[in-house]
Structure 1
Amino acid sequence: MDFDHLAKKQSNLIFQVWLQNLLKNSPEELAGKVAARHCPGTPVRAARLTNGAFNICYRVTYDDGHHVLVRFTALGRVIARNEKVEDEFAIMQYVAQHTAVPIPKFLEGKPLSGYLREPTPEKVTLRSDIHKSVLRRAYFGMAEILLELSKPEFPFIGAVRPDETGEWGVQKPPLTFSMNRLDQFSNIPHGVFSQQQFENAADHFEELARQHFHHFELQRNDAVTDEADCRRKYVARCLFRKLSRDISKEHCNGPFRPYCDDLRPDDVLVDASSLAVTGVVGWEFTYAAPVEFTYAAPWWLLLEKPEDWEADLDQFLVRFMPRFYTFLEALRDCETEKINNGSLLQSQRLSPTMEQSFETGLFWICLPSRHGSMFDEIYWNTIEDRYGLLSAEERANIDTIVKNKLQQASERTLVSHYSIDELVDL
């Protein structure tokens, strides 16, 4: 489902005003001060880097040659900015203390994606002529990260924080990539999301199903094109809710594993000669999640975001699956190496479940549960006898839902949920 163009316009306007104010107030000097507060030494200069989706970034250079990344979380790009930063800082501390994933204090290396992508700026995608040996090395490094993140266990689903005694655990509900996108581009008020952690995976998947209904029901513009489209999108969400109730029977009560919704080669720094991982810097939207997310195949193998995939998923798989098998080879090699050196148990292999995730449908449930841009294509095109799967109550609600959505579409308005002061404080 497309996002609300009025919400996107408003988000971009807020971001541009915030950015102009930042640039007027010596951000290089401010970045140097922030760096000095957290890392010892003397910063001598700062230069702006290409920013990601959620931050404006500066590379701060110290007098001894070390580099530090300073990020300012962008107003308009993230609604719950304070929560996002606090969650990210906490999970970085946890990962540094409890896993072998390198969390750098100083920047060393360049993003892995820069060695893998096509040089054209139009679309981020994997080089078509990339040598398999290079790709295997890159995938091996990513596999190491995924395996390390699959080891820690938590009894609840949510954001990982230390308590008053310093004991690590799940202290609050997760802030997810999908929640932020709904806030930002669909104008969904943040308060509609669950305000508590989840004791089991079934409740979490039920919440994800509710979020897809929020997307459909509360986004006023660009949600539907006509009555038939409206009915299809309502039915698709009913089907996902039905499927999501059965997905996590084996692992419903945990334990749950750390998972980063947006982890990809853009966030992984590597050595130029060996492509060995030197640090991982992007940790927003990381939380203790259902283990099914960990067991599903990774979505970033072609470097493309899900919203950039072909509408014809069969055609997408023609490009994706060969790279997936290369990734599986690298993952198996990485698992074997770790088992041989005693850092991984045979039972902790991820390759068997990832390989099966297309056959079982796990990939096609986990991906759109976190990325709403793929939702309708998957749940309408891959399920037959759709209306017959709906409950009597769901079928009875269709006409009312259609009437309300078409009324919203005709009004073409945007409801304001926050003042500027409230946005700054969130």
Structure 2
Amino acid sequence: MDSMVQLSNIPESVLPSSGSTYGSTDDWYLALAEMHIATLLFQHNDMVSSEDDCRCKYVARQLFRRLAKQRRLSSFGFAEDNWSARSTTNKPKLAMPPRSGSFRLWNDHFRPVTVLVDESDLVLGVIDWEFTYAAPTQFVLDPPWWLLLEWPEEWTDGIEEWARLYETRLEIWLSALEEAEGEMDPGSFRLSTCMRDSWETGRFWLNYAAKDNWAFDSIYWKYLDDLFFGARDNEVPPEKLWETRLHLLTDEEQAAMEPLVRIKMAESKERTLVDWKDDEARQRMSSFLFD
């Protein structure tokens, strides 16, 4: 959230207040989904590149929030997933963590560069603890994004090439993990099984997109939308993908889209930082949340 305030100039008044806690995984997914909407609404500069780009980002965020509000994101890719298009063709087998009380220590920025070692490669400590919080267990069951050391959305050759290379590194990681798990007692929890399942079902991409505002738009239409709602027409150009899902929005959500497009296109003509008053920011946010 600090990055959202510093880099996107999102008003703090529309973000979760300091010290906010969540009693369930579904509440946390909903909070993340609404932060994605806040980014679209309040980031004045470099948020949209065209009218269709704005429509794609709006439709994706409203659908993502809808699924979070319906308590569906927490079950995606697990045996309890009885709603996604993916579950109808390849039923998941692993049970989801409990919806309430299942949180683990998590650090979004944990990666090799934050681990300090000595000359013998013995771990001395870990830095960047300021990015640590209690996160849904779902996050811990995903394979680590840092196997290629760089963020997917920053990969020079594009996110699809990142995913292709990542899959080869993932096999090495899982083999090493399985070897270590071989020394455990029979019947013990196998993290490697959950991580492999996360990649195969698409849970990896769901949680990565949920956590990362900057990556959401690179991931949603490419790796999540068809898993959620089924295959789209392959002939539809990327800038028109919003048209394939517009019918899933409510009348209110559809009616709000074009006014937002006009607002964002007008904003794009002038680079500036807007000093939002708290009441105005909350009003703008609430006018795009439909329950």
- CA distance in structure 1 between the partners assigned to 2:247 and 2:117 by the alignment: 51
Q: Give 2:13's aligned amino acid.
A: G
Residue 381 to residue 305, structure 1, CA distance change in 2 (3 Å)? closer
* Mapped partners of 2:9, 2:38: distance in 1: 10
Partner of residue 102 from structure 2, selected from 239, 245, 255: 255
Aligned residues with identical type, % of pairs: 42
Among 131, 140, 144, the residue aligned to 1:285: 131
The reply to whether residue 233 of structure 1 matches residue 233 of structure 2 is no
CA distance in 2, matches of 1:405, 1:311: 29
In structure 2, how many angstroms separate the alpha carbons of the residues matched to 1:349 and 1:187? 42
**Correspondent of 2:198 among 332, 357, 361:** 357
**What are the superposed Cα offsets for residues 102-161 of structure 1, whole Å, 9 maximum, x if unpaired?**
xxxxxxxxxxxxxxxxxxxxxxxxxxxxxxxxxxxxxxxxxxxxxxxxxxxxxxxxxxxx
1:147-166 to 2 correspondence within 5 Å? none
Distance in 1, matches of 2:177 and 2:248, equals 38
Letter in 1 for 2:12: H
Do 2:116 and 2:123's aligned partners in 1 also have CA atoms closer than 8 Å? yes
Determine the C-alpha separation between the residues in 2 that align with 1:314 and 1:414: 34
User: In terms of Rg, which structure is larger?
Assistant: 1
Asked if the contact 1:311/1:377 (under 8 Å) is kept, the reply is no
- Flag the structure with higher strand content: 1
2:267 partner amino acid: Q
Distance verdict in 2 for CA 1:379–1:333, change over 3 Å: same
Counting only pairs closer than 5 Å after superposition, residues 277-426 of structure 1 correspond to structure 2 as 277-310=123-156, 312-337=158-183, 339-340=184-185, 346-382=187-223, 383=225, 384=232, 385-416=244-275
CA shift for structure 1 position 347? 4.4
Q: Matched residue of 1:363: which SS?
A: helix
User: How many angstroms apart in 2 are the aligned matches of 1:243 and 1:334?
Assistant: 37
Q: Distance in 1 between matches of 2:276 and 2:258?
A: 28
Q: In the TM superposition, what is the alpha-carbon distance from 1:310 to its structure 2 partner?
A: 4.7
* Aligned counterpart in structure 1 of residue 116 of structure 2, from 269, 273, 278: 269
Q: Does 1:207 align with 2:207?
A: no
Query: Which residues of structure 1 form unaligned runs of 5+?
Result: 1-178, 419-426
The 4+ residue runs of structure 1 with deviation greater than 6 A are none
Conserved? CA contact 1:261–1:286, under 8 Å: yes
RMSD: 2.1
Deviations 1:154-173 (A, max 9, x none): xxxxxxxxxxxxxxxxxxxx
Q: 1:54-133 alignment to 2 at 5 Å?
A: none
Q: What are structure 2's unaligned runs of at least 5 residues?
A: 76-95, 226-231, 233-243, 278-291
Q: What is the letter of the counterpart of residue 198 of structure 2?
A: S
CA contact (8 A) 1:235 1:386 kept: yes
Superposition TM-score, scaled by structure 1 size? 0.52
Within 2, Cα distance between the matches of 1:402 and 1:257? 39
TM-score scaled by structure 2? Answer: 0.74
Structure 2 distance, partners of 1:350, 1:332, is: 8
SS in 2 for 1:224: coil
Q: Contact 2:106–2:140 at 8 Å: present in 1 too? A: yes
Q: 1 CA distance for matches of 2:72 and 2:208?
A: 16
How much has 1:252 moved relative to structure 2?
1.4
Indicate the structure with greater helix content: 2
| Superposed displacement of residue 311, structure 1 | 6.6
Structure number with greater CO (CA < 8 Å, separation at least 6) is 2
